[in-house]
Chains A and B, each alone.
Chain A
Amino acid sequence: AAGVIQSPRHLIKEKRETATLKCYPIPRHDTVYWYQQGPGQDPQFLISFYEKMQSDKGSIPDRFSAQQFSDYHSELNMSSLELGDSALYFCASSSSGGLGETQYFGPGTRLLVL
């Protein structure tokens, strides 16, 4: 069965650079979520989109922005990168706006900021 696809899988950037992470949800899933997992930490919710509109917002820094496109894929844009942004970034998808539906996670993008 098709799963959530994230690209790139690994990314190395320097401080103050920008990065764009991409997420392709499971086919027919209309809701996308972004999470950040720091080293040794549990994943923390950043932001979500339903039908191309932002549906919820968590602990996402102002330096980050995200959007969902007409084909339901999503991109997380990160600017002015800081060392503390080094983490594993997960995308998850679900159907029907997410209410009561299971979220399926992608393999994650590991970002290292030097």
Chain B
Amino acid sequence: GDSVTQMEGPVTLSEEAFLTINCTYTATGYPSLFWYVQYPGEGLQLLLKATKADDKGSNKGFEATYRKETTSFHLEKGSVQVSDSAVYFCALGSLKTSYDKVIFGPGTSLSVIP
């Protein structure tokens, strides 16, 4: 079935460091891909998305490119801030039915230290 794999955390970075969180997926067809972020004690927020191959999603300095050939959707940010500390979930919109459900990866916890 459809699934998402993410790099294991926790990830600890110094402020202004470069961030990469790897994400690969297995799916039938060409699903939409998402990154959701969950700040401590809060709900899920959509960070960015891409709906077809070679699309680049971007928001708040974060970017991810839909790579069909490598089935990947890696999250990057050039310079992280303390406020970026959160859990990041890579996800796909399952196309198995006409009504997409979101399948999440296990999440990657990011801590940014001053």
A residues adjacent to B (C-beta < 8 A) = 31, 33, 35, 41-45, 48, 50, 55-56, 58, 88, 90, 92, 94, 97-108
Contact = CB atoms under 8 A, between A and B. Distances in A.
Interface of B: 32, 34, 36, 42-46, 49, 51, 89, 93, 95, 97-107
Given A43-B104, A90-B44, A100-B51, A55 B97 contact: yes
A100 B105 contact: no
Contact of A105 (B32, B44, B97, B99): B44
A19 B34 CA distance: 31
Contacts of A55: 97-99
Contacts of A56: 97, 99, 101
A33 B49 CA distance: 18
A48 B99 contact: yes
A97 B102 CA distance: 13
B100 A99 contact: yes
Contacts of A104: 46
A35 B89 CA distance: 14
